[in-house]
Structure 1
Amino acid sequence: MSATAGQAADGVRSVADRFGLEPGNVVMEMGYDDDVDHDLRDALTDRCGELVDEDTDEVVDAVLIWYRDGDGDLFEILTDALGPLADAGVVWLLTPKAGRGGHVEPSDISESASTAGLQQTSTINAGKDWSGARLVAPRAARRK
């Protein structure tokens, strides 16, 4: 693979690159609403193919959760996301950035993730209005 593979023509990593997803990965999406970042969704769809919804029977490589304060119990949503997730899969929790409506405090994310058996490994700028937290099960983190 060349040094520029998966990079935009101008040499800047594409938004899809930041998620670490590969062509052929199955990605489940939860929490879709009108306020999601459509450019991000398009980039991920271009990379992996159509996103599957939470009613899928497939084992998925990643779960993309759009979550806003007030969307329900984050622990329960994270627990639901784990059901179809492959052993080495990753959960991307997308929340509105600070100062935006629906912002979620990092401490709330950390507490809910820990209670659900997940640990946060990184955060990314996922778009103009969204931040992304990469969450993995500890056993998956050890396999990498």
Structure 2
Amino acid sequence: MLSRADIEARMPHAGASCLLDRVIAHDAQTIHCTTRAHLDPANPLRRNGRLDMVCGVEIGMQAAALHGGLRTHGATPRIGYLTTLRQVSLAPGRLDQPQWGTLHIRATCEQADEQGMRYHFSVESEAGAALVTGHGFVVLQPQEQQT
């Protein structure tokens, strides 16, 4: 299990921009994280005092980014850029509702090669209701361009 500090040490997102609180489990293909960042009034994705359901895409792809970094087994992770989202499904309503409780985020690496990765992600309520699901495609910066 990874704590918030462990997560921030492995991601480019830090402070309020890191939307994951804990890693429950991970293996070569999947990661399971939790968060309560959706309830934080200082969440940087809030607009006009609300956090729309679409913000769950960022939470899901942060889990994918963290998983990609963990797959490097200690090597410096390559810089990646989210290029495409597909088959995104959003539950009705807002993400910042207390009834969702602690969110459970799962990301599964469906394909990975030198050019990039494809992840399926899901954000679920504490009770297991699907709030946000989709597929994200990440292009990796060539190693010679990394600084």
TM-score scaled by structure 1?
A: 0.30
Instruction: Return the structure number with greater relative CO, CA threshold 8 A, min gap 6.
Output: 2
TM-score scaled by structure 2?
A: 0.30
More strand by share: 2
